[in-house]
């Protein structure tokens, strides 16, 4: 019985998702992995980060993205990182599975006495937009960011709001 109920729920979510990836739709996606609050006891530093992206569907299943973010006292040090970028996503078969890519800049500020550094960042991600309602999604994804000699990869969970 549970399997049948799960299949019905997934079918309803898939049908609701089909209308959201059409040309002219907009969405906003604040990412939980970009919202971080940590404290490093060794350096006695607290890190806070925030990231959000939004976009518009230029044609069915294809979205153009813009993202902004910041992390203060990143990695338990005096480094502040500010990010901005653009990218795109392609949603397969209107069921919510997507691939995304992008390019942006990372601005590193190294405390009060040092000059900052600006680097170009490239990223790839793959995920799934699971619709909780007609306009709200949970979007788990795997990502990979490359910034000159530095690479980050991991899992993230975002919330999408489709208009």
- Domains, the chain: 2-162 (2.40.160.20)
> What's the pLDDT score for residue 13?
47
Calculate the average pLDDT of the chain.
Answer: 80
Choose between 55 and 42: higher pLDDT: 55
Whether 152 has a pLDDT exceeding 50, the answer reads yes
> What's the pLDDT score for residue 119?
92
Q: What is the 3-state secondary structure (H, E, C) of the chain?
A: CHHHHHHHHHHHHHHHHHHHHCCCCEEEEEECCCCEEEEECCCCEEEEEEEEEEEEEEECCEEEEEEEEEEEEECCCCEEEEEEEEEEEEEECCCCEEEEEEEEEEEEEECCCCCCEEEEEEEEEEEECEECCCCEEEEEEEEEEEECCEEEEEEEEEEEEEC
Among residues 86, 91, 124, the alpha carbon closest in space to that of 25 is found at: 91
Residues 84-129: tens digit of each pLDDT: 999 999 999 778 899 999 999 989 888 766 778 899 999 999 999 9
Residues shown for the chain: 163
Q: Which residue matches tokens 């350096």? A: 43
Choose between 12 and 145: higher pLDDT: 145
Residues 22-54: tens digit of each pLDDT: 888 888 887 655 555 666 666 677 777 778 899
Residue 85 contacts residue 118 (beta carbons within 8 Å):
no
Residue 69 contacts residue 82 (beta carbons within 8 Å):
yes
> What's the pLDDT score for residue 126?
96
> What's the pLDDT score for residue 40?
60
What are the CA-CA distances from residue 61 to residues 48, 69, 87, 91, 156 (Å)? 34, 25, 14, 5, 21
At 99, list the tokens. 């691939």
């Amino acid at each position: 019985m549970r399997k049948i109920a799960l299949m019905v729920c997934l079918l309803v979510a898939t049908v609701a998702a089909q209308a959201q990836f059409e040309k002219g739709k907009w969405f906003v996606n604040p990412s939980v992995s970009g919202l971080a609050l940590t404290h490093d006891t060794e350096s006695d530093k607290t890190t806070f980060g925030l990231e959000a992206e939004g976009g518009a569907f230029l044609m069915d299943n294809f979205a153009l993205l813009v993202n902004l973010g910041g992390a203060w006292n990143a990695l338990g040090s005096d480094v502040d990182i500010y990010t901005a970028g653009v990218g795109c996503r392609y949603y397969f078969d209107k069921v919510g599975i997507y691939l995304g890519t992008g390019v942006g800049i990372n601005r590193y500020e190294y405390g009060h006495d040092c000059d900052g550094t600006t680097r170009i960042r490239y990223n790839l991600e793959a995920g799934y937009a699971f619709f909780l309602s007609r306009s709200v999604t949970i979007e788990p994804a795997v990502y990979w960011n490359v910034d000159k000699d530095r690479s980050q990869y991991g899992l993230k969970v975002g919330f999408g709001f489709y208009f």
